[in-house]
Amino acid sequence: MLAARLVLEKSPHVLLIGEGAENFAISHGMARVDNDLFSTPERLLQLQEAKAGGEIILDHHAAPLDERQKMGTVGAVALDLAGNLAAATSTGGMTNKLPGRVGDSPLPGAGCYANNASVAVSCTGTGEVFMRTLAAYDIAALMEYGQLSLYSACERVVMEKLPALGGSGGLIAVDREGNVVLPFNSEGMYRAWCYAGDTPTIGILSRIEQGRGRVSQTHETDTCEVLVVRNLNVAFRQQDAPEVQAVRQLSFSLRRGETLAIVGESGSGKSVTALALMRLLDAASSEVNSEGLWLRRRNRQVIALNEQTDAEMRRVRGADLAMIFQEPMTSLNPVFTIGEQIAESLRLHQGLGREEALRAAKKMLDQVRIPQAEEMLSRYPHQLSGGMRQRVMIAMALSCRPAVLIADEPTTALDVTIQAQILQLIAVLQKEMAMGVIFITHDMGVVADIADRVLVMYRGEAVETGSVEEIFRSPQHPYTQSAAGGGPAAGGDAWPGSAAPFSAAGPAAGGERNARYGSRRRADPAGA
């Protein structure tokens, strides 16, 4: 996963969470640790008794008794860079006496929420052990007293605490199979949140060797193209004003199981492209033409979208080509229940009766992880939270198992925890259904995490396209370079003065470019 690589390459202090955190740390050479340190409190006790020197008593009662019973035994360990045990604590009910004195305050291990004897590890330099190990305490305190979720608490620590140690802080979650599911960097770039599981352990590790910890991202794709767009043009007519050319000569293709991210600043033509593909633009005020818009349906039939009648498109939309819109509250009908709205698509495209369609709608709500799905069928959109409404939109879009899903900034208005769950949900369902996905966004962090290929749009044109690796590691077009330079890049620091990626202000000014692109190219250091 590219975002995880960039976090590892840019962040000297990385917070690991997840059931696979220990194995990830060892296998990726993030610190000099050995399996003894990822062991039971009894083993830790044996280690500490082998040490000589002063003693420190650590508070092991930070978590309430009932929470300790639910969690099982967890612990926190601090190491120095030489691999020496500097401090440890446990919620298992024993007092740990360790060599060396790292501070006077209690050092609870309650930040490690797990159902086994996992430990949190901090590999640090001399004199910084206590401060860095406190990150686990900070997370526990934010969860207990600040009423934050685990992921929000981790974000707060990574954003505010770890950078104080020098350099940026990073967060990576690893599931029990060793898959990286959540990379994050405190510099605000590559925020690719994905749900990491219910019982993560927490570890704070400092990278020692540059270039280690590389994780690959793969998707099961084949060479079968499910969507081909050739020279799409969209223009809007205005009264008493010149015609607006929203999309110019846009061409791209999408394979089965592939995720294509279309990125660009506001007004670049991303959403207009999606609406043109869905044939939802107002014919009275817009003009759409192309050399071809071809869709391969689920039954393998290839149709030209631009040649379909309105009646034929109504049979295609929802069944073979579906879309998740930006704002679910304006997309859902406020006077119909959730069940009726999902069932309508099933009745239209699959010919189901009302009761059978409602049962299928309930299964879809279960599939998108909505609790109490039976009860949810009778609710109205205004009775749901933003995250639940977005899940309903996903259920509706995927109810007929389309060949292509267009997701138009589906997480823009959601908090980071809900964003993570929605992104992970789309990825899981994509794999189950072998869909091609077009993901429209301006968030380059999301792109780095979920996309296979990227198409960059600027003022209605595709200025660059390539694999996610190519776009992030070796962008060719000045606009892409400026956008990618707004945050940490694999090869070096962000360019001074560059704007946030795809902000309204656009990339940084300076240098030269052709007339259409303006003077938005960064100055060439070689020519300075």
Query: Considering the chain, what percentage of its residues have pLDDT values greater than 70?
Result: 48
User: Taking Cα atoms as reference points, which of 401, 415, 468, 400 lies closest to residue 439?
Assistant: 468
- Token pair, residue 330, equals 């304006």
Report the C-alpha gap between 211 and 224 in whole angstroms.
35
> Of 380, 399, 418, which marks where a domain is finished?
399
Tell whether 527 is covered by a domain.
Answer: no
Residues 390 and 406 in one domain: no
Q: Supply the Cα-derived Rg of the chain in whole angstroms.
A: 26
Residues 50 and 151 in one domain: yes
Report the C-alpha gap between 486 and 484 in whole angstroms.
5
Q: If you count them, how many residues does the chain have?
A: 528
For residue 66, say whether it is annotated as part of any ligand binding site.
no
- Token pair, residue 480, equals 């892409």
Tell whether 384 is covered by a domain.
Answer: yes
Residues 388 and 441 in one domain: no
pLDDT at 14: 65
Residues 352 and 246 in one domain: no
> Of 399, 421, 449, which marks where a domain is finished?
399
pLDDT at 331: 84
For residue 493, say whether it is annotated as part of any ligand binding site.
no
For residue 223, say whether it is annotated as part of any ligand binding site.
no
Binning pLDDT at 50, 70 and 90, where does residue 131 land?
very low
Residues 337 and 448 in one domain: no
For residue 104, say whether it is annotated as part of any ligand binding site.
yes
Q: How many domains does the chain fold into? A: 3
Report the C-alpha gap between 346 and 342 in whole angstroms.
7
What is the separation, in whole angstroms, between the first and last Cα of the chain? 36
Amino acid code (one letter) for 40: T
Domain that includes residue 25, residue range: 2-206
Outline where 317-350 has alpha helix (H): 328-331, 338-350
- Per the CB < 8 A criterion, the answer to whether 173 and 18 are in contact is yes
Mean pLDDT of the region 501-506: 41
Tell whether 491 is covered by a domain.
Answer: no
Q: Could you tell me the CA-to-CA distances from 328 to 335, 375, 394, 408 in Å, in that order?
A: 14, 20, 10, 11
Active site residue 73: yes
Q: Could you tell me the CA-to-CA distances from 331 to 163, 324, 327, 398 in Å, in that order?
A: 41, 9, 7, 15
Residues 113 and 176 in one domain: yes
Tell whether 290 is covered by a domain.
Answer: yes
> Of 399, 428, 458, which marks where a domain is finished?
399
- Per the CB < 8 A criterion, the answer to whether 174 and 140 are in contact is no
Residues 406 and 459 in one domain: yes
Residues 222 and 367 in one domain: no
Which of the residue ranges 91-95, 155-159, 174-178, 440-444 would you say has the lowest mean pLDDT?
91-95
- Token pair, residue 376, equals 């949810």
Residues 182 and 248 in one domain: no
Q: Assign residue 102 a region: left if phi > 0, alpha if psi is -120 to 50, beta otherwise?
A: alpha
Residues 70 and 188 in one domain: yes
**DSSP per position, 505-517:** T-SPP-S---TTT
pLDDT at 32: 32
Give the CATH number of the domain where residue 222 resides.
Answer: 3.40.50.300
Active-site residue among 73, 337, 441, 480?
73
Higher per-residue confidence, 515 vs 297: 297
pLDDT at 61: 30
User: Taking Cα atoms as reference points, which of 468, 445, 518, 446 lies closest to residue 456?
Assistant: 468
- Per the CB < 8 A criterion, the answer to whether 203 and 33 are in contact is no
Question: E strands within 125-215?
Answer: 169-174, 180-185, 202-206
Tell whether 419 is covered by a domain.
Answer: yes
Tell whether 515 is covered by a domain.
Answer: no
Mean pLDDT of the region 509-516: 34
Tell whether 483 is covered by a domain.
Answer: no
For residue 125, say whether it is annotated as part of any ligand binding site.
yes
Report the C-alpha gap between 443 and 134 in whole angstroms.
31
Residues 303 and 171 in one domain: no
User: Taking Cα atoms as reference points, which of 197, 177, 220 lies closest to residue 432?
Assistant: 220
Chain centroid to CA 10: how far? 18
Tell whether 513 is covered by a domain.
Answer: no
Higher per-residue confidence, 358 vs 212: 358
Most confident of 98-102, 144-148, 187-191, 422-426: 422-426
Task: Report pLDDT digits (tens) over 38-71.
Answer: 233 343 344 344 333 333 222 223 333 333 333 2
Q: Flag whether pLDDT at 202 surpasses 50.
A: no
In the DSSP assignment, the letter for residue 353 is -
Q: Flag whether pLDDT at 192 surpasses 50.
A: no
Binning pLDDT at 50, 70 and 90, where does residue 357 land?
very high
Residues 54 and 123 in one domain: yes
For residue 486, say whether it is annotated as part of any ligand binding site.
no
Binning pLDDT at 50, 70 and 90, where does residue 5 land?
low
